[in-house]
Every structure is written in C-alpha cells, then in structure tokens.
A = this chain, B = another copy of it.
C-alpha cells in the first residue's frame, strides 16, 4: 500500500499510534497544536507546519516576502485556533545554493514582518541546501487554561460559525492573509467557544474534523455559507483549502450575545452557517432548494 492510498489523516494517525507521552502532555497529535502543562494559569501550545515549493506556493506566483510571511502565518493560525497567543518560533529552510542572497533576505523580511506584527520572537533557525525551496516553522504559544479551545468541545445543539468568506484563496489570499489571531482572542476572552479550528483544508473537511473529535453530527445551510468573490462555485468554496478562517461552535444563546454585543467592534464578518447535531446525523448540506445532501470528509488532500 502506498502513501497516496491512505491519505494524510491516516498517515498522521500512524505516527500518533503507540507513541508514549509524558503525563505533562495534555493533548498530543490530533488538534491544531499540542497542549502541554506549563504554569498554574496557562498551558503551552506547540505546532509545526511545513511549506514546500510546488505544493503550497510556486516561485512564479509568490514573492520571497510572501513565502516567508505565509510560512509563519499558517502556524500563527494554528495557535489562534486553540485560543492561544503565539510566542516563539524556529525556522528551518532548505534552499538552492544558486539562489540570490536577496531572495533569502526577502523570505526573512516576510517572516520578520509578520513576527513583529504579532510579537512573535524568531529564536532559532537551520539552513540547508535543497533544490526545491522548503520552509518549516515550529511555533510555541501560550493559552490561559480557561481559554483553551479544542476541536472536541462541540455539543449537539451548538451553532456553527465561520469568520470571513470561503473559497478561491489560491488566487492570492493564501499568500497574504493575516491570521485571525485578534479575532480568536476576542472570541475566547469574552465568549464561551465550545470548539474551534482554522479552515486549512476546506470547510467540509475541517468541520468534519470538529464533529468527529466531538462525536457529533452537523448540518450546514448553503444559503448561509459566506462565499468569497474568488471562489469558482459554492462547491469550491466549501472544499477549497487554505482559507485560514476560524470555524467554531457556540451555544445558541452565546452566539446571540456575540452578534448583539461584539460583532460591531469585531472588524471581521462572522456568519452562522449551521448546527451541531447528534453523531448519527452525519454531516449534511441543506441546499438552496431545501433538499438534503450528505457531505463526505473531502477537501484539500496532500496525497
């Protein structure tokens, strides 16, 4: 059996299998970031994300600045999705020795620029030669214990919400997006968010991850899902990868309070797109004409 036959989810699960974890590890592989005991008040978060030339960007369509920016942005997005604050990053780069130094400087400027914006300290690095450009960032964050937001906290009856608009990120947004850190922090500081994830592999797949981790089913409404002007179709909008929007769940009362009290000052659109149901309900789409369509966990597949 080949890697492409089992897919990314099963592949990561194979790594997680039979791994021995220290008791201080509260959450290992399987969420946007690992959660580790730290102080009395706060946990430590730990995540990594690798970008590869030809997969996550091409040199024809991305500037070095954008590549550096994106390499850190995807990681900050992971920490944000746990309700946390990013703190310390290390950066490993593989690069063609024949590249101009100005090219590398551009990548570094992109990294530094976003790091400054969100007060992230880049504390370490490793450089190697590689024909194809590859950048891997590992990021440590922190989160107050009561604000930690996992994928697994959704409950039947909760409503499903999403920031921004979905789809077509590949047309450029995926290289320039600002991670929803401010929004995530505003949410977890002032509201009870039952579960959260960042939409990296498409709405359907990432919603499926929340529902599976929470042992729930769910329903989304075609008329409620915010579709980006860049999206080619509704179907593309809910399966395109790299939106990096926040997908989260709340009790309906809490969501009403959010729309009443906070949305005006929030600065980013938030849409209520569906409901969490019992596990047996599976995941369904209510189309514009009211018919029901079962959704499979499909989205951006790395293999």
Contact A25 B88 (CB under 8 A): yes
Residues of B within 8 A of A1 (CB): 100-102
Residues of B within 8 A of A90 (CB): 34, 46-48, 138
Question: Taking chain A's interface residues, is the majority helix, strand, or loop, or is none over half, making it mixed?
Answer: mixed
Contact A92 B124 (CB under 8 A): no
Contact B50 A92 (CB under 8 A): yes
Determine how close the nearest CB of chain B comes to the CB of A74; give it in whole angstroms: 10
Cα separation A275 to B81 with both chains bound (whole Å): 52
Q: Quick one: copies of this chain in the complex?
A: 2
Residues of B within 8 A of A290 (CB): none
Determine how close the nearest CB of chain B comes to the CB of A80; give it in whole angstroms: 16
Given contact pairs A2-B100, A136-B48, A124 touches B20 in the complex (Cβ within 8 A): no
Interface status of A187 (Cβ within 8 A of chain B) = no
Cα separation A23 to B34 with both chains bound (whole Å): 24
A102, closest chain B residue (CB): B1
Please indicate which of the listed interface residues A11, A21, A98 has the most CB atoms of chain B within 10 Å of its own CB: A11
Contact B55 A128 (CB under 8 A): yes
Residues of B within 8 A of A6 (CB): 101
Residues of B within 8 A of A127 (CB): 8, 11-12, 15, 302-303
A105, closest chain B residue (CB): B14
Interface status of A284 (Cβ within 8 A of chain B) = no
Interface status of A185 (Cβ within 8 A of chain B) = no
Range, interface on chain A: 35 or more
Given contact pairs A130-B132, A136-B136, A104 touches B3 in the complex (Cβ within 8 A): yes
Residues of B within 8 A of A27 (CB): 123
Residues of B within 8 A of A134 (CB): 50, 52, 94, 130, 134
Query: Chain A 127-160, CB within 8 Å of chain B: the 1/0 string?
Result: 1111110101010100000000000000000000
Interface status of A281 (Cβ within 8 A of chain B) = no
Determine how close the nearest CB of chain B comes to the CB of A140; give it in whole angstroms: 7
Give the contacting residue for A108; candidates B5, B14, B92; CB below 8 A.
B14
Query: Chain A 101-113, CB within 8 Å of chain B: the 1/0 string?
Result: 1111100100110
Please indicate which of the listed interface residues A6, A22, A49, A123 has the most CB atoms of chain B within 10 Å of its own CB: A123
30 sample A-B contacts, Cβ–Cβ < 8 Å, listed by A number: A1-B101, A2-B98, A3-B99, A3-B104, A4-B98, A5-B101, A11-B104, A12-B127, A14-B101, A14-B108, A19-B115, A19-B121, A22-B119, A25-B123, A28-B122, A28-B123, A28-B124, A34-B90, A46-B90, A46-B140, A47-B90, A48-B90, A48-B124, A50-B94, A50-B134, A52-B129, A52-B130, A92-B136, A92-B138, A130-B132
